[in-house]
Amino acid sequence: MIRNYLEKLTLFIYAILISITLLGSIRSINFSIVNVKFTVILFTIVILLCLLFSNKIKINRLVTILFVLVTISMQIILVENIATRIGLTPNGFDPDHIFEANKHVTTYLKGYFSVYPNNISMLLMEHYILKISNLKLTWMNLAYISALFVDISAVLNVLIIKNINKNLVNISIVINCIWILLFPMVIVPYTDTWVLPFVSGYLLLYVLIKRENKKILLFSFFMSVCAIMAYFLKPSAIIPFFAIIIYELTRVIDRKFHLKKIDYLVFICCLLGGVGTYISGRYIINNQSVINIIPGRSVPIVHYVNIGMKGEGKYNFEDDMKMYSLEDKKDRVEYSVKEIKKTLKGYGVGGYLKFLILKQQLNTSDGTFGWLQEGNFITRKARSSLQQVYYPDGKYLDDYKYISQGIWTLGIAVLFLTMFSIGKYQSVLKLSLIGGFIFLLIFEGGRSRYLIQYLPVLLTILAISWNNFLVKLNKIADFQKDKMWS
């Protein structure tokens, strides 16, 4: 059976990549910035005790609601305290270019969007949301919109779990709330956060389709709509959708293409939703009047492969400027291919494998998701207590990084300890995450910020894995108890 082979291969690759991520998380610089040896020991003991007894305590619905309200309140306070201070000076950061283009289009911005037309979708979405909602163009308003998208994604993540296993809803709520509480990137209005509801959306619709709901055809149509919307905002965000297609194709092949009538109807609805959304999206982009771009100036996809294998695999200023200077697309492609061959020759097989291991750690191991690593978008000194936590000169910035890294490492450790668990949805979710990991290894990465787009997948796996982990721990605890009293 092809699906069985795919599931075994998925578990094998997933185990390797999660192991590398865990190693990188443990060795993160976020742990070395403060002397916390005693704190680590104490924190570990408390967490282990909580894990041992957590499934023996039923969380009251009122407590859950209060936790959610506290999370939302803290998010609002975060936006109010930090978003007023970002983007005060031109800084070369992509969100800043989009912000400035919505204010006034300059020759430089025309050149930027000509070279990077993938950000036009974000520009248009920002433009039309502000226009329809009658909101002014301010960093504060954009931060609130970003927060709204993150919250919608979190709600959809919980609904995914509810439709997989109702008993895991509280676990999912807690996990998503902790993510929001430790996620200052919410204030940055960019594709990383704005794409999240669409990724969560098509994952939820897939789960609903698998439950053979009466509205299966409607769900199939809108699953493709969400996937293509995600593609327009951030092309790599469609990878989990491709993973779903690959996984379902194995079922079709195993059945020797003996499909039911409903299977054909689902396929047709998916096709109509996807093709229709893509054609509509291309039409809107090609006929928009927000910014005029120079045709034929866009960077080739091979450029991202080139910068993805140099140094730490992240943005490379020298190669970026080369894309601006080479006017002919053929020259840009030839330059990138030449650089790729040169880089691979320099690495050798062993060197390239070593580079991939390092890059996987850089892509996935930072629990702050690259907070303050790029953009220089906070330009004033910290004043309030909350600013002391998140600002570059903040007194408690290192503490925030340590706590975030600790919780992230705990989550990755749970994924590691349950990496061979199998279930109805775990295989396709793990395949989705593998696809995201591999994409970031091949193309531009080198920072955990790029992992944000795959958080709906990761948080869903974590909720399922956390429950599996608790079950295993309690089996061990019960066994030890029986052994002690026997």
Residue pLDDT, tens place only, 106-143: 999 999 999 999 999 999 999 999 999 999 999 899 99
Q: Quick one: how far is CA 298 from the chain centroid?
A: 25
Share of the chain above pLDDT 90, in %: 63
Query: What pLDDT does 424 receive?
Result: 79
Higher-pLDDT residue of 154 and 370 is 154
**pLDDT tier, 221 (very low <50, low <70, confident <90, very high otherwise):** very high
Q: Mark 265-303 as b/e (b = at least 16 C-beta within 10 Å).
A: ebeebbeebbeebbeebeeebeebeebebeeebbbbebb
Give the model confidence (pLDDT) of 225-261 as tens digits: 999 999 999 999 999 999 999 999 998 888 877 788 8
Query: What pLDDT does 48 receive?
Result: 55
Query: What pLDDT does 43 receive?
Result: 62
pTM: 0.92
Side chain identity at residue 68, one-letter code: V
Query: What pLDDT does 403 receive?
Result: 87
The mean pLDDT of the chain is 88
Mean pLDDT of the 183-187 span: 91
